[in-house]
Every structure is written in C-alpha cells, then in structure tokens.
Amino acid sequence: MLKTERIPWWVFFAFSAIETRKGALILITVCVLFTVGCIPDLNVYLSNSVGIPEDYQLVDDWSWLMMMVPMTLWYVAALWWSDKNGAWQQSADEASPSEA
C-alpha cells in the first residue's frame, strides 16, 4: 500500500508491506487462526482429547492472547477503512500509471 495524504498512518502501518486486498485478507485469516491457537485452555483441551503431549503446548498463559486480539482488531479496522475509502484501487492506480 502506498502512503498518500488520504491514508491515515494507522492504516499505512497495518498494510505497508501488503499490496493487495487478498494479501490483507490472508494476513487477517492467519492472525485469527493464531489468536484462536493462543487460548491456553484450548491447548489443554487438545492435549487431553486429541492426545497431543503437554511438552508440545506452545502457550500456557494469556499474554499472547491479550496481544493478538487488539492486533487482529487493528488489521480488521484497517481493512474496513481501506475498503470504505477505496485505498486498494488508489494504490493500484498510483503504482502503474496508465499510458495515454
């Protein structure tokens, strides 16, 4: 995403390395999956029901979840702003100017 005067900094920082809406959706999907994976009680449940050994539990406290929820919401809000204000189309138009 290219920084223009219309794009706020918080949106630009969210998607500065992402060029397309599809890339932003992939980022948000991965963040949601990782957020769900950061629920400590889910890890304990999977260990007991599926048979995953406790040595492989990656998360044993709530700190990762408390970090991932606001970050995922930030990405969702940035995507909503970008869609509402046409930031994806604007970035594509500025990246490849038409030859008239």
Domains identified in the chain, total number: 1
| Range picked from 25-29, 44-48, 51-55, 87-91 for highest mean pLDDT | 25-29
Q: Band of the pLDDT at 98, cuts 50, 70, 90?
A: low
Answer whether residue 96 shows pLDDT above 60: no
Q: How far, in Å, are 1, 12, 47, 90 from residue 59 at the CA level?
A: 33, 30, 12, 40
Q: Which residue has the higher pLDDT, 78 or 48?
A: 78
pLDDT top residue among 87 and 84: 84
Range(s) of the domain holding residue 24: 18-89
CB distance 85 to 15 below 8 Å:
no
Q: Which residue has the higher pLDDT, 6 or 54?
A: 6
81 domain-assigned: yes
Confidence of residue 83 (pLDDT cuts 50, 70, 90): very high
Tell whether 69 is covered by a domain: yes
